[in-house]
Structure 1
Amino acid sequence: MKTLYKKSVLIVILITLFTTASNAQISKAEIRATGLTCSMCSNAINKQLKSMPEVKNVDIDLNTNTFVVSLSENNSLKPSVFKEKVENAGFFIGSLVLTTNSKTIKESSYIIVNGKENNSKEVQIQILDKGYVTDKEFKKLSKSYKNSLTYNNSNENDFHIQILN
């Protein structure tokens, strides 16, 4: 009887872990970097992004300094990983747009400050916190969201988002 109980508990734990991992995922990240002056600059960011095991592919648009990162399924990445990788290459994020599912928004530390929740399978969101937008944009957003209790607190575990679709 104890063995059956232990197996049941183990199965429930495994199902919970896999369900959580599959719900908390980002399928694509569109990163517009700032401070790039040449193709060697973009190569440094490209190497940093490709060093993550969850990355399947990185497409680069040198005209807009945009990196489109395709990610493997069932990853549990947070936006802070992309910021860290770009900064490790010596640059900054001017814009970060993530493609994720609506369950991720509900189950993660995302705070919607603009846009409405929808139940679409895939949702595009833009991170609006300091370090994920340009300094000029952040100053404008700080004024717009001055009544938000969490926006100007700079808690690195909270991500304020705008739902784009």
Structure 2
Amino acid sequence: MNKINKVRVIVASIVLMFSIKSNAQIVKAEIRATGLTCSMCSNAINKQLKTLPEVVNVETDLNTNTFTVTLTEGNTLSPKVFKEKVEKAGFFIGTLVLTAKPETITQSTYILVNNNTANGTEIQFQVVDKGYVTEKEFKKLSKSYKNVETYASNNEDDFHIKILN
């Protein structure tokens, strides 16, 4: 391969990487928080989530302690951001379910733990790592996913997901 062709391949690869990254996006996050005892608790989480510039709206269900976060188109947020915001408010995530474009889960940071396939223009999946489910649920999942080599490693930048639809 001559020098010009090598440069073309490198440029094409870079363009492809950035175009995939820009298409990857979370559309909506449903966060069930734990440890809340009153409406002031939910207000603290609500305020933290709204500090993200990518957040369009946050709806709160006080009966289930669930926060439905609608996000701007083209965002590049990761599940880690939601965990950090909830913990900054002084609480923990019990469940994190994300709705995203299918190409989002093709990124190397997402590791599929079930055999479901993604269909449609948007998919819904749950992050099943420690810190994204309750401690009790994590212990149960650790047994179920013992064959997934990366699951027990608790790498903060890898997200093990279970496709729901």
Q: Report the TM-score, using the length of structure 2 for normalisation.
A: 0.88
Please state whether the residue corresponding to 1:114 is helix, strand or coil: coil
Runs of 5+ unmatched residues, structure 1: 1-10
Partners of 1:130 and 1:61 in 2: how far apart? 24
Aligned to 1:59: 59
Matches within 5 A, 1:140-159: 140-159=140-159
Aligned to 1:133: 133
CA RMSD, Structure 1 to Structure 2 (Å): 1.9
Using the TM superposition, give the Cα deviation of residue 32 of structure 1 relative to its aligned residue in structure 2, in angstroms. 0.1
Using the TM superposition, give the Cα deviation of residue 146 of structure 1 relative to its aligned residue in structure 2, in angstroms. 1.0
Matches within 5 A, 1:1-165: 16=16, 19-165=19-165
Q: Check 1:12–1:143 CA distance in 2 against 1; reply closer, same or farther (3 A cut).
A: closer
* Count of matched residue positions in the alignment of Structure 1 and Structure 2: 156
Using the TM superposition, give the Cα deviation of residue 17 of structure 1 relative to its aligned residue in structure 2, in angstroms. 7.2
Q: Check 1:23–1:98 CA distance in 2 against 1; reply closer, same or farther (3 A cut).
A: same
Partners of 1:164 and 1:149 in 2: how far apart? 22
Please tell me whether the aligned partners of residues 55 and 72 of structure 2 are also in contact (alpha carbons under 8 angstroms).
yes
Name whichever of 64-73 and 140-149 sits farther off: 140-149
| CA-to-aligned-CA distance 1:78-134 (integer Å, 9 cap, x gap) | 000000000000000000000001111112411110142224210000000000000
Please tell me whether the aligned partners of residues 117 and 163 of structure 1 are also in contact (alpha carbons under 8 angstroms).
yes
Partners of 2:54 and 2:108 in 1: how far apart? 19
Runs of 5+ unmatched residues, structure 2: 1-10
Name whichever of 99-108 and 19-28 sits farther off: 19-28
Q: Report the TM-score, using the length of structure 1 for normalisation.
A: 0.88
